[in-house]
Amino acid sequence: MKILVINTGSSSIKYQLFDMDRQKALSSGLAEKIGESTGKLTHIKHVEKETGLTKVIKETIPDHRKGLLKIVNLLLDSKYGSIKEKSEIRAIGHRVVHGGEKFQAPAIIDRGVITAIKKNIPLAPLHNPSNLTGIEVAKTIFPDSLQVAVFDTAFHQSIPPKAYLYALPYELYEKHKVRRYGFHGTSHGYVAQKAADYLSKPLSELNMITIHLGNGASMAALKNGRCADTTMGMTPLEGLVMGTRCGDIDPALPFFLANHLKMSLKEIDDLVNKDSGLKGICGTNDMREVIEKKNAGEPMAKTALEIYCYRIKKYIGAYFAVLESLDCLVFTGGIGENAQDIRALCCQGLTKLGIKIDINKNKSRGDMGNKTIQINSSDNEVNILVVPTNEELKIALETKELIGSRSRLET
Ligand code: AMP
C-alpha cells in the first residue's frame, strides 16, 4: 500500500511517498516559495543503499494546485518517480496543525471534518488555512484516494483540565476555547512509542518526558503513556526557548512594550515569534551556528545556550514532579538528536533525580545512523534515549491504521 503524506504551508508543500508494506519512503521533496517568482521544487527519489536521485526544478509555482501537479508529475516520472499511476496512492495523510478539542485522533476527511478544521482557524490563523488549501487541492488531483487529517494537537488531548486551563475567567474557555492545546503531538507520540519498543515495555506502563528540540521546541510529560502536560500552549509560543520564539515570559510584558515603547500589536507579535529566542539573544536561530559562535568565544552565544538549556532543565524538574516517578527521558528533533553538549547541559546536576548521562555514550549518536541510542550512565537510573523523530512516517502509519480495510469508494 502506498501513502502520500502532505504538509502544506502558506507558500510550501512538503511531501513524502511511503511504501507502507515496507514502511519505507520512496520519494520526498519540498515545493517552496509558491506564488513567488523564485519558486523551487526539490524532489528526491530514495534509492536502496544509495544517496538517492535528486531533481531540482527552479521555476515559478503560481499556486498550490500547480505545485501539487508538478509533484505528481515527478512521482510519475520514469527516472525520478516511484509510481506508474496516480491510483497506486491509496490514501493521502495531511498534517493539520490545529484540531481543537474536537479531534483526539486522526480523521477521514469529509465535509464535517473540513468544517471543523475551518472552525479552528481562529486558534491557528497561520496554519489551518494552508492545511485546508492542501486538502482541497489534493482532493481535486486525487479524487479516488482517501484523505486523512492527522492533527498536531490530538496527542495532547489527554491532558487534564488542571494542566490545560489557564487561570483566566472561565468564560474565555467556555465561549472561546482559550486553553492549552500543545503541538508537535505527532513527534512526541512517535518517539514515545519508539522508546517503549526499544525498552521492550508497553507504552501504557511507562512514565516519560519527551523533549522535541528542533526549530520549534516543546516537551511533554507522559503518565502511563498518555500525555499529562506539555509546554506549548494555546499557540506554539509558550514554553521552551526556541529558534526565534521566546517561550515563557511574564504575560505583562506586551503591555510594557505597548505602553512604554509604543509598539503595535503586530510589532509585538513579530518580536516574540520571529525575533526572539536564540536569535534574539545571540543573532542566529540556527543551533549549529550558535554552538560555533560559542566555541569561538562569543559570550552572547554562551548566554543563549545557558538560557536555552536552563529552561529545559527547569521543565524536566517540573515534569518529574507531575509524573511522580520517571522511567525514561527522550531527546529528539534536529537539536535533540545531534547536539550532545545541549543534552549534557540540560541534564547536568540531576543525579539525585536518577538522571545521569554517560559522556561516552552521549558522544556516539553520529555513528548510529537512524537508530535509537541509550545514553544514561547505568542500568538502575532513568533511561535516557536519543530517538530520531519521523513525523511523516507517523502520519503515514496513522493514516494506514485509520483507513484499515476501507475501500476508496466508501468516502
Ligand atoms: P529541525 O527543526 O528538527 O529540523 O531542527 C533544526 C535545528 O537543528 C536547527 O537549529 C539546526 O541548527 C539544529 N541542528 C541540526 N544538526 C545539528 C547538529 N549536528 N548540532 C547542533 N544542532 C543541529
Within a domain: 184: no
Q: What is the pLDDT of residue 411?
A: 43
Residue 166 in any domain: the answer is: no
- Rounded Cα gap, residues 136 and 117, in angstroms: 12
CA–CA gap between residue 213 and residue 330 (Å, rounded): 11
Among 120, 151, 182, the domain boundary falls at 151
Answer yes or no: is the C-beta of 277 below 6 A from any ligand 1 atom: no
pLDDT for res 380: 79
Tell me, using a 6 A CB cutoff, whether residue 336 lines ligand 1: no
Cα-based angle 34, 40, 42 (whole degrees, multiple of 5): 120
The mean pLDDT values, 10 residues at a time, for the chain of 411 residues are 94 95 94 92 87 86 93 93 93 96 95 95 89 94 94 97 98 97 97 98 98 96 98 96 97 98 97 96 97 98 98 98 98 96 97 96 72 90 96 96 67 43
In a domain, 93, yes or no: yes
Confirm whether 20 is domain-assigned: yes
Q: Cα of 336 to ligand 1 centre, how many Å?
A: 8
Q: Supply 245's cell numbers.
A: 520564539
User: Any idea what the CATH number is for the domain that residue 20 is in?
Assistant: 3.30.420.40
Tell me how many domains the chain contains. Answer: 2
Q: How far is the CA of 275 from the centre of ligand 1 (A)?
A: 18
DSSP 3-state of 1: coil
Q: Do 80 and 210 share a domain, yes or no?
A: no
Q: Is 187 contained in some domain?
A: no
Task: Kindly state whether residues 339 and 247 are assigned to the same domain.
Answer: yes
The finding on whether 388 has its CB within 6 A of some atom of ligand 1 is no
Query: What is the pLDDT, as a whole number, of residue 409?
Result: 44
Residue 129 sits in the same domain as residue 209? no
- Is any atom of ligand 1 closer than 6 Å to the C-beta of 286? yes
Same domain, 118 and 236: no
The atom of ligand 1 lying closest to the CA of 212 is 3
Give residue 213 CA to ligand 1 midpoint distance, Å: 8
pTM of the model: 0.93
Whether residues 275 and 142 share a domain: the answer is no
Same domain, 212 and 113: no
Cβ-Cβ contacts under 8 Å for 19 (sequence gap 6 or more): 1, 2, 26, 82
Q: How many CB atoms lie within 10 A of CB 5?
A: 27
How far apart are the C-alpha atoms of 143 and 157, rounded to whole Å? Answer: 31
Catalytic position from the list 21, 77, 144, 152? 152
152 noted as active-site residue: yes
User: Is 290 touching ligand 1 by the criterion CB < 6 Å?
Assistant: no
User: Cβ(335) to ligand 1 under 6 A?
Assistant: yes
Are 257 and 370 in the same domain? yes
Q: Is residue 171 part of a domain?
A: no
Residue of minimum CA distance from atom 8 in ligand 1:
334
- 16: domain range? 2-151
d(C-alpha 374, C-alpha 330), whole Å = 9
Same-domain pairing of 119 and 224: no
How many angstroms does the Cα of residue 243 sit away from the middle of ligand 1? 10
Contact 317, 199 (CB under 8 A): no
State the distance from the centre of ligand 1 to the C-alpha of 343, rounded, in angstroms. 13
Burial bucket for residue 71 (CB in 10 Å: 0-12, 13-18, 19+): buried
- Map grid coordinates 550558535 to a residue: 290
Question: Which of 14, 338, 392 has the most ligand 1 atoms within 8 A of CB, as the residue to mutate?
Answer: 338
User: Would the CB of 215 count as within 6 Å of ligand 1?
Assistant: yes
Give the Cα separation of 339 and 343 in Å (integer).
Answer: 7
How large is the C-alpha radius of gyration of the chain?
22
| Residue 129 phi, psi dihedral angles, 5° rounding | -60, -40
